[in-house]
Amino acid sequence: MKKISICILLCILCVALAACQPQQNSLSVTDGVVSWNEIGNATEYNVEINGKGYVCKKTSFVIPSDVFGEVTIKVVAKTGEKNVLVAETTATVTQTLSKPYDLKLDGDILSWRAVQNADKYFVVLNDVSYETANTQISLKYVVSGSVSVVVYAVSDNPYLQNSPRSETTVEVIEYPLQTVENVRVEGGRLTFDKVEGAKQYQIYVDGAKVAATADNIVALTPEMIGETLQVRAVSDVAIPSPLSQAATLSFGEIENEEQLAEMNAGYFSLKNDIALTTEYTPKAFGGVFRGNNHTISGINIAYDSSAVGFFAELTKATVSDLTLRGKIELQSATSGPDVGGLCGKAQNSIIENCFVFVDITAEFRNGLANVGGIVGSLVNTDVLQTEYQGTITTRNAVCGGFVGTASNPIENRNVKQCKTKATIKADGGERAFSGGFIGKFTDNMLAVSQCVADVDVTGQSYVGGFVGYFGSGKVFDSITLGQVRAQNPFIVHLGGFIGRAEGYNVTAERCISASSVQTTVVAETKCVGGFVGKTVGGTYAYLYKDCFFDSEVNAIQAVGNPDSGRSDGITGVTTRQLETPSTFSTFDSSVWNIADGEIPMPNRNRQ
């Protein structure tokens, strides 16, 4: 009997001990809810999360919204006077941010209630998203009319998900833009203060709108030259501003040689013709120079410098309606200078309606120079309706009848409706490229169009009636006439229009070579073509399109390397066919002057 009693006591003790042990694997966390198995006789449960306790009567507990991330959870059951550990675990808790309520528009201010733990809000207005760290945003100058609005909260914490979206529709009035302030003209540029909400600025000259820009710093163009300049701020969602106060352009008048020598920056107007009587020393120029169709003659330049021309350099300048006559004769020891009849180097400038009759004779003893009838080195500059006529004789230079080198692409620019009538003799090594219009063309943002090269070119290795070396760029609706020759005994790439084209980033479209292509040398590497001396590569859809050459004058193929170079888009025709309008059915008659019995010529009238 005693043994039986002991056994019963041991059983009771085991049951009691078992009741005090936690039930393993009974705790789970799903969608922000902690749940566990029921403990018999439990009156309540204490849920402890990261050391903070919560009391509940059920076997599940919703984790508070301010608890997220990696957490430790422990559940203890209270049974009478005893506490029983149900389970303990760690879990990753994610929460969804609350919805931004009370979305409303007061004047131009759209606001909403702050969301706990939100770092920022995204506001979507008519499908365009804006970000803010505040609980309000101004709609002034942003939208107008009936606007659909969506707002939702976002946290940088990876355990907090974006809130649900609040949505509404509001009516936003148009607000007037403020008047543009501090309009001024400095160094060839129009500048002014930006206006909040403005998407564009309209420029008025003497009361008439002439241009529009998105920037508040604008290089002056010929159409912007007048007595007064004003600016108006505009936007498609706001009322345009009143016109600004007028900035007055004060032009200094140039009427003699002494005044011309002192000019270097500002706004100048040539009052009359000037005949120079002494050797001229070029200066750099930034500003506006209006020639008023007058002539500066007697130009005699022998000055050795890094940039040589009537203007040494043009930087953010506009030069228009000017005729130059004279000569440049150099024996240069400067390393790689830029030499041109109008300017040695032009960058970020505009040249329009200028006529240059300046003969250039130059030998360079310290590296290759860049020599052009108008500009030696052209960088991010427009040249419009400008002509060169003269003789260019160089040694050790990249040489062009209009531009020596066009390079360094920055933005879209144009050389348009220009002409050169030049005799060019270029001596030097293989890299002394020679072109009737451009010696070296490596600016894929420059478009040359409606231009004429009427030239007699004698060069060395890379020689073209229009472009000597064509690395990148675009030529449209242009023609070359005359003769081209190459004399290097080792390598010759000679073409009626292009000497050498790299074939990867070049375009020639609706162009004509009516040039005679000649060479008598027996070079080790010789590529001679009626249109292109050599085309290398050619991965674009097309390089040449609707181009022609005189295959009667030049009984040779279109390209000098027909086995490896592309020639599609180039057609050889007879001299008579060059004078037949039907040959040029794809040419635009508003761009070309096409008549029976005449070789077509680009229209160079002002458009």
pLDDT tens across 358-369, in order? 999 999 988 899
* Counted domains in the chain: 4
Question: Does 228 map to a domain?
Answer: yes
Question: If 0-12 CB within 10 Å is exposed, 13-18 middle and 19+ buried, where does residue 128 land?
Answer: exposed
Name the residue type at position 111.
S
pLDDT of residue 252: 84
Longest CA–CA span in the chain (Å) reads: 146
Are 156 and 287 in a shared domain? no
57: domain CATH number is 2.60.40
Are 82 and 117 in a shared domain? no
Residue 334 predicted with pLDDT over 50? yes
Residue 332 predicted with pLDDT over 50? yes
Rounded to whole angstroms, how far apart are CA atoms 310 and 580?
42
pTM attached to this predicted model: 0.68
400: domain CATH number is 2.160.20
Are 71 and 205 in a shared domain? no
Q: Per residue in 546-573, pLDDT tens?
A: 999 999 999 899 999 988 888 899 999 9
Strands (E), 80-237: 82-93, 95-96, 104-106, 109-111, 120-125, 128-132, 136-138, 145-154, 160-161, 166-172, 175-176, 184-186, 189-191, 200-205, 208-213, 217-219, 228-234
3-state DSSP helix/strand/coil % of the chain, to nearest 5: 5, 55, 40
Rounded to whole angstroms, how far apart are CA atoms 45 and 47?
6
pLDDT of residue 606: 54
Question: Does 196 map to a domain?
Answer: yes
CB count within 10 Å of CB 256 equals: 10
Question: Does 17 map to a domain?
Answer: no
Are 280 and 422 in a shared domain? yes
Are 277 and 137 in a shared domain? no
Domain end, chosen from 129, 156, 172, is at 172
Are 299 and 424 in a shared domain? yes
Q: Per residue in 4-60, pLDDT tens?
A: 444 444 444 444 444 444 444 478 999 889 999 998 889 999 999 999 999 999 999
Question: Does 185 map to a domain?
Answer: yes
Phi, psi of 198 (to 5 degrees): -75, 135
The CA-CA-CA angle for residues 191, 196, 202, to 5°, reads 50
Are 427 and 379 in a shared domain? yes
Domain end, chosen from 115, 145, 172, is at 172
Q: Which domain holds residue 466?
A: 273-570
Reduce the DSSP state of residue 111 to 3 states and report it: strand
CB count within 10 Å of CB 504 equals: 14
| Residue (of 364, 385, 450) closest to 376 by Cα position | 364
What's the pLDDT band for 264 if we cut at 50, 70, 90? confident
Question: Does 367 map to a domain?
Answer: yes
pLDDT of residue 249: 80
Question: Does 16 map to a domain?
Answer: no
Question: Does 11 map to a domain?
Answer: no
Give the chain's mean pLDDT. 91
Are 102 and 68 in a shared domain? no
Pairing outcome for strands 52-56 and 512-518: unpaired
Rounded to whole angstroms, how far apart are CA atoms 518 and 290?
42
Q: Per residue in 419-462, pLDDT tens?
A: 999 999 999 988 899 999 999 999 999 999 999 999 999 999 99
Are 116 and 52 in a shared domain? no
Question: Does 190 map to a domain?
Answer: yes
Residue 590 predicted with pLDDT over 60? yes
What's the pLDDT band for 1 if we cut at 50, 70, 90? very low
Are 364 and 336 in a shared domain? yes
pLDDT of residue 195: 97
| Residue (of 193, 204, 191, 197) closest to 177 by Cα position | 197
535 contacts 559 by C-beta, under 8 angstroms:
yes
100: domain CATH number is 2.60.40.10
Element (DSSP H or E) covering residue 395: strand 387-395
| Residue (of 224, 97, 238) closest to 166 by Cα position | 97
Are 460 and 367 in a shared domain? yes
Rounded to whole angstroms, how far apart are CA atoms 221 and 203?
11
pLDDT of residue 402: 98
Residue 3 predicted with pLDDT over 90? no
Are 545 and 402 in a shared domain? yes
